[in-house]
Structure 1
Amino acid sequence: MKFTTLLATCLLLVGLSCTVQKKEEATDEWVQLFNGKDLEDWDVKINGYPLNENYGNTFQVVDGKLTVNYDQYDDFGTKYGHLFYKEPFSAYLLVMEYRFTGDQAKGGPGWAFRNSGAMLHSQPAATMGLNQDFPISLEAQLLGGNGQDPRTTANLCTPGTNVVMGDTLFTPHCINSSSKTYHGDQWVRVEALVLGDSLVKHIVEGDTVLTFQKPQIGGGSVSNFDPAVKKDGQLLKEGYISLQSESHPIEFRKVELFNLEKYMDDPKKLKSVLRDLQTRQGH
């Protein structure tokens, strides 16, 4: 399917927000990435530690929520961590409901205050270097308000990647979305519509706040990676999803995904499926 056809199809769906809340509405395409009980289907990679060494019990399930916490840390330092779901995806709608809680870990950088994210189209956890800080990926950056200043959420950051915006290759590390600011410990729903190596949309509480195209490997803002993995210019058609640990506690009560891969070769069906999901939610 040509990129232009897919893009034209999906840009018709402004403001897509399609989380199916009721169990009776679920279909085979919905995948519950977080089962509400444990982290059996996830891999941990924390900077400076081997794969699946969950330093300080950073990632854990508490009261049915997936939490990132630092109770056992003396100092955060550069222990950036990522929790990877077990399998890759190519085309999907990712749905997350999150909130920031508590105080930032001692030693966490100032920019990481109420800062976390979901890494999309990521390299596999097993290919990260021991001291690699971030996976090569697209970050849907999650930010919480500080009580006074504007701080948008569902921004884009690009560790080891670039994207196209309009007709231009976008090479800076981050760009803000058009979302509102969410102060305090309120729950926020963020969705990412990812369609292979063509289109990505970030959606916050039903509003599309950022759109970009042609995600690809390139650029900087990632260190200690395996050069064999970082093939600059290679389009990112699929990859893993991971949740970040960047020094501020965060909880997730929902992490689910609607798999769109089987519809990618049929633009009419894809359009119909997306409209059906949108209609169910009344958006």
Structure 2
Amino acid sequence: MKSIILVITAFLTLISCTSQSSKSLFNGKDLDGWHVDVPEMDNNPEAINPFIVREGMLVSLGEPQGHLITDAVYQDFRLEVEYRFAGKPGNCGVLVFASTPRSLYEMFPKSIEVQMMHDNAGDFWCIVQDIETDNMLERRGPKEEWGITEGKLRRIKNLTDGSEKPLGEWNSMTIECLKNSIKVWVNGDLVNYGYNATASSGNIALQAEGAEVEFRKVLLTPISKLSEKAP
């Protein structure tokens, strides 16, 4: 009996330590810990900030387009995001390993994007950074057209169809970044795995890219505090 009690105590301690190491990147009240980069706000005094807090949720209004970027730089982490399209389906994404702002089309920071676009959640987009996956020819297209800048094949399609929930329902997306690899799960399905990325740390960014998206969870846990099992 004593040994059983010790095992249970150790297990509860492990859960407690893991929970304490996790950090919500959104406090439910304001955008503390983030900064906004929206080109239209540079010179247009009437441009609104497309990132707001509404009813305890972080909301990307979609327009004007730009990014909400963490002040801090992260590496070796698991990011858990819960999101839904508030109205019409459209485009949005989570950027990891983000660095130099406005590196692509004078809009997108240098990064690897994990796509959230409806019906394409989990795709990778290379934004002046690169990453490899299995079956690259099938998922990215002709090799001679691959690239990381304007006009190149930067999209790497995800592995599954049907992982997203119906419109209006909440989706969970987990992004695990370990060294220079990225794994992505959508609603528990492993939808992408990339390795040999050209970066291994950076800021995290959320997009405003045309569609209104609500976020009710943006939780980061250092990878060293996690087991190696998939969620």
TM-score, normalization: structure 2?
0.77
Count of residues in Structure 1 that have an aligned counterpart in Structure 2? 201
Query: 3-state DSSP class of the match of 2:120?
Result: coil
What amino acid does structure 1 have at the position aligned with 2:93? G
Whole-angstrom CA distance in 2 between matches of 1:56 and 1:240: 23
Match of residue 30, structure 1, among 1, 14, 22: 22
What amino acid does structure 2 have at the position aligned with 1:161? Q
Match of residue 249, structure 1, among 206, 212, 226: 212
The equivalent of 1:206 in structure 2 is: 188
Whole-angstrom CA distance in 1 between matches of 2:47 and 2:71: 19
Match of residue 194, structure 1, among 167, 170, 177: 177
Question: Conserved in 2, the CA contact under 8 Å of 1:44 and 1:54?
Answer: no
1:142 aligns with 2:119: no
Question: Structure 1 pair 88/258, CA: closer, same or farther in 2 (3 Å)?
Answer: same
What is the 5 A alignment of 1:1-283?
Answer: 26-50=18-42, 55-69=47-61, 79-103=64-88, 114-123=90-99, 127-128=101-102, 132-144=106-118, 151-166=119-134, 171=146, 172-177=153-158, 178-180=160-162, 181-197=164-180, 199-216=181-198, 236-260=199-223, 263=224, 273-275=226-228
Cα distance, 1:179 vs. partner? Answer: 4.2
The equivalent of 2:7 in structure 1 is: none
Question: Conserved in 1, the CA contact under 8 Å of 2:96 and 2:204?
Answer: yes
Question: Conserved in 1, the CA contact under 8 Å of 2:92 and 2:211?
Answer: yes
Instruction: Encode CA deviations 1:79-124: one digit per residue, 9 max, x unaligned.
Output: 4210011101011000000000124xxxxxxxxx511000100015
CA RMSD for the aligned pairs? 2.9
Question: Conserved in 2, the CA contact under 8 Å of 1:189 and 1:204?
Answer: yes
Query: 3-state DSSP class of the match of 1:191?
Result: strand
Query: 3-state DSSP class of the match of 2:167?
Result: coil
Question: Conserved in 1, the CA contact under 8 Å of 2:136 and 2:156?
Answer: no
Whole-angstrom CA distance in 2 between matches of 1:161 and 1:54: 33
Whole-angstrom CA distance in 1 between matches of 2:207 and 2:47: 14
Question: Conserved in 2, the CA contact under 8 Å of 1:179 and 1:204?
Answer: no
Whole-angstrom CA distance in 1 between matches of 2:193 and 2:34: 28
Question: Structure 1 pair 54/121, CA: closer, same or farther in 2 (3 Å)?
Answer: farther
Question: Structure 1 pair 143/26, CA: closer, same or farther in 2 (3 Å)?
Answer: same
Question: Conserved in 2, the CA contact under 8 Å of 1:46 and 1:54?
Answer: no
Whole-angstrom CA distance in 1 between matches of 2:47 and 2:54: 17
Query: 3-state DSSP class of the match of 1:214?
Result: coil
Cα distance, 1:64 vs. partner? Answer: 0.3
Whole-angstrom CA distance in 2 between matches of 1:139 and 1:81: 13
Whole-angstrom CA distance in 2 between matches of 1:121 and 1:34: 19
Question: Conserved in 1, the CA contact under 8 Å of 2:41 and 2:48?
Answer: no
Whole-angstrom CA distance in 1 between matches of 2:200 and 2:102: 19
Identity %: 25
